[in-house]
Amino acid sequence: MIHIEKGVKGIGYRVMETGFERHLRPISYPMPVPNTLNPLPYSLSPIASFLPKILFYPHIMTCDAMKLSSGLVLALDVTDRSRALDVAARVAPHIDAVKVGYPLVLSCGTGIIGELAKSSYVLCDFKVADIPNTNRLIASEAFKAGAKGIICHAFPGRDSIAAVVEEAKKHGGDVLVVTEMSHPGALDFMAPKAEQMARLASDSNVSGIIAPATRPERVKALRAIVGDMLIISPGVGAQGGTASRAISAGADAIIVGRSLYEAPDPAEAASMFSSEIAEARNAFRDKGGKGS
């Protein structure tokens, strides 16, 4: 994995090749970027000319927060502190982030966020869905506890998302917006509005969206709307989704919970998922980056 590191928070570069032309393309993040940086990708083109002739997809992205390498995110939905820390340590070499939600935080307190953050990028899956002021307060507590990213819902509207984004900026954190969840019930109300919510997310200066690995055709449709924006897909494993299909449809990373923390050997399971993701990325690249 090649990382083009820049010392400006909120800036990332995607290594691309179109025909014989290689270049570095900017990726947008929540942090505002001065216009004086706009020519930067072009000034780096001599560096890009020495890169191998490959198309990296999903994104090679770099910022002070989330960095994708394996494309695997652990959903740590357990309620015991010792077990949580043990599983996180076992799978650490194979994952990019640990996603924590209400089961773990309500049982162990917000201190567990800081403990996990000592060795991992922590993404708080609080699915924040309230009025702007309440959203801001929730996001503030998550980031102060040590989180580097937070998940919010799109359906409360533009101002509610904006409140989370504004708070994330203060901490250099990421905001991911749920457009469509992975369970069957999401088809009742979320799926019919998912494209509209994806457009709202795209207009809200967030880091990325959540799209269901259980329905890869939806990942592909939402990718067409959000462009280069990060897509993370839950529902792999116990819910029936597969890493390869999600990645082939355009996801950047997958979220896996029970198939990791309930595995007899979580590290081995994580390694297998990581290998599947790598194979899917290679196949995606060989097809020219077109989702199946």
Asked whether 285 and 57 are in contact (CB, 8 A), the reply is: yes
Asked whether 25 and 13 are in contact (CB, 8 A), the reply is: yes
Give me the phi and psi of 148, to 5 degrees please. Answer: -110, -10
Please indicate whether residue 9 is annotated as part of the active site.
no
State the Cα angle at 227 between 236 and 164, rounded to 5°: 75
Please list the residues that pair with 73 across neighbouring strands: 97, 255
49 burial level (CB within 10 Å; 0-12, 13-18, 19+)? exposed
- Looking at residue 146, the DSSP 8-state letter turns out to be T
C-alpha–C-alpha distance, residues 62 and 218, integer Å: 26
- Looking at residue 18, the DSSP 8-state letter turns out to be E
Task: List the catalytic residue out of 127, 144, 169, 193.
Answer: 127
Q: Which residues are part of the catalytic machinery?
A: 127
